[in-house]
Amino acid sequence: MTLVVDIADPLAGSRVSEPVVFTVPVDLAAPLYRATLADGTRLICQRLSDGSGNGHTAFVACLSFTGTARLTLGEPLADAEAAALPGIRVLPGREADCFARLDTGAFDLELCSGTAEGTGASKWGVRHFKGLADGFELLPSGNNAIGGFYGPFFTPENGLINPPEHTRVDIEIVERGPLLHHYRMRGAIPDGLLPELRGKRFAIDWRFTYGTPYFQRRYQVDDFQTVINGRSVTNKITVGDEFEGGVGQLVFDRFAAYGGTRYRTGDPYAGLLVDMVNETLAEAKTDNPKFAAFRDKLSRMDEAHWDLYWRLFSAWENALPEAEIFERLARVRAAAHVKADLNDRAWTLADRPVDVSAVPHETIFPGPASKTAEFHVASGRAMVWWTSVPSGAFQIVQRRQSGWVNWGSNGENECPELPVGVDIKTAYGPFAESWQAVADQLETAPSAVVRLSP
């Protein structure tokens, strides 16, 4: 009997190196198997340890097709044949904490474990990311990262800033073959000022597949409940993806949500925080080397990295006493709560992409969505996100002065809005004109039905 997989795409359009996962009702032990499509095209299937056993074997195949495809599973590959196959390549890393730098066939990316030294270059996550089709590097300096998560743990309210800067992660290899690399990050969240958020751990699964113009991830965090921005927050987080183009240059200069963007402009909290930084530098009686270092770096506010504003009020930094952090940030929060709910920042309903750098604070707060995109008008490059459950809000920053761009799943005053355990698919490529069709494909995977054929 022959194992046949019937694959069907419910959407119109073509799939490019789409990862198709299927399970056959038999135990198979070899890591790689031959397969043939109905037109005679040969390809390989990678056995997955996750999902295999007890009379079943899970596989992944990466297929480019339109409409339907039929795959017939063949014999296992010999080791010598497997070694000569094209597939994901491991490259020499550029950062000291590089765990894996990969050429996926679509991207050159570097996954880092972090150094916990409290600087932009300390972050875990994807610290370099380049599209191989256009050769454009989205994170050239290594001082920002794709994949950090922030609220509610890493906020001024909890006295902690930027978990990728203040934690290290252990990384487990779940799958590593020519078609799929699956890594699992595990880390402990440092204890902050809020007792209910102490003693928590997290895990992040990353999946990169060969030639696929998107990657996948999922965040798991120990159960928690707290109050942020005066609202109860239960098992919701802020995921933040950062990009950098350099001073005056934006990697992405527009934002759009599927079906239209509903948003408010400006970020009163950010302005109030900057004001408090100035006030603290002028008034604080603290006299220690850490505070002196911050005073020096922040003496030129317009040139300082945004993280420095936050880090001044981080309990981890010990630049200020905890009591002073509490008191100063309590004033910021109280004023921010009022400003966020005033009527001077009306909701805008837009059918066209938003020029974020043209609005106050170069920031918008869009409403709920599951499919969003940031893109660059002149080049057509775009990043597209799909979340399996909508995030309740977003914070989008496109700051031309520094070239820093951000996609974050939080509302105003750092209130996290993305439920824990949600699947995220993120695509990158020349998708400015077609991003909605790309988002639909991220949302709706092809079906795969396994059958026995004589």
pLDDT at 165 over 70: no
- Mean pLDDT across 372-382: 98
Q: Residue 299 has what pLDDT?
A: 74
pLDDT at 179 over 90: yes
Q: Residue 302 has what pLDDT?
A: 62
pLDDT at 19 over 60: yes
Q: What is the pLDDT of residues 405-424, one digit of tens each?
A: 999 999 998 899 999 999 99
Q: Residue 287 has what pLDDT?
A: 82
DSSP β-bridge partners for residue 418: 237
* Long-range CB contact pairs, 358-363, < 8 A, 24+: 359/265, 359/266, 360/265, 360/266, 360/267, 361/265, 361/266, 361/267, 361/270, 361/271, 362/397, 362/398, 362/399, 362/400, 362/401, 363/265, 363/266, 363/267, 363/270, 363/395, 363/396, 363/397
Q: Which of 71-85, 199-213, 308-322, 431-445 has the lowest mean pLDDT?
A: 308-322
- Mean pLDDT across 269-276: 88
Domains of the chain, residue spans: 2-85, 89-267+344-443, 268-333
- Mean pLDDT across 109-128: 86
Percent share of the chain, pLDDT over 70: 96
For domain 89-267+344-443, give the fold: Beta-galactosidase; Chain A, domain 5 (2.70.98)
Q: Residue 429 has what pLDDT?
A: 98
Q: Residue 163 has what pLDDT?
A: 52
- Mean pLDDT across 428-441: 98
pLDDT at 76 over 90: yes
Q: Is 33 helix (H, G, I), strand (E, B) or coil?
A: strand
Q: Centre a 10 Å sphere on the Cβ of residue 358 and count the other Cβ atoms it contains.
A: 11
pLDDT at 36 over 90: yes
pLDDT at 393 over 90: yes
Q: Residue 213 has what pLDDT?
A: 98
Q: Across the chain, what does the average pLDDT equal?
A: 92
What beta strand segments (E) does 231-334 contain?
231-234, 236-237, 239-244, 254-257, 261-265
Q: Answer with the residue of higher pLDDT: 130 or 122.
A: 130
Percent share of the chain, pLDDT over 90: 70
Q: What is the pLDDT of residues 186-221, one digit of tens each?
A: 999 888 888 999 999 999 999 999 999 999 999 999
What distance lies between CA 417 and its chain's CA centroid? 14
Q: Residue 108 has what pLDDT?
A: 98
Cβ within 8 Å of residue 388, ≥6 positions away:
370, 422, 423, 424
Give CA–CA dist 383/45, Å, rounded.
28
- Mean pLDDT across 80-106: 93
**Closest Cα partner for 418 from 177, 193, 210, 233?**
233
Q: What is the pLDDT of residues 299-332, one digit of tens each?
A: 766 656 666 777 788 877 888 998 888 888 889 8
Question: Which structure tokens are listed for 10?
Answer: 């419910």
pLDDT at 83 over 80: no
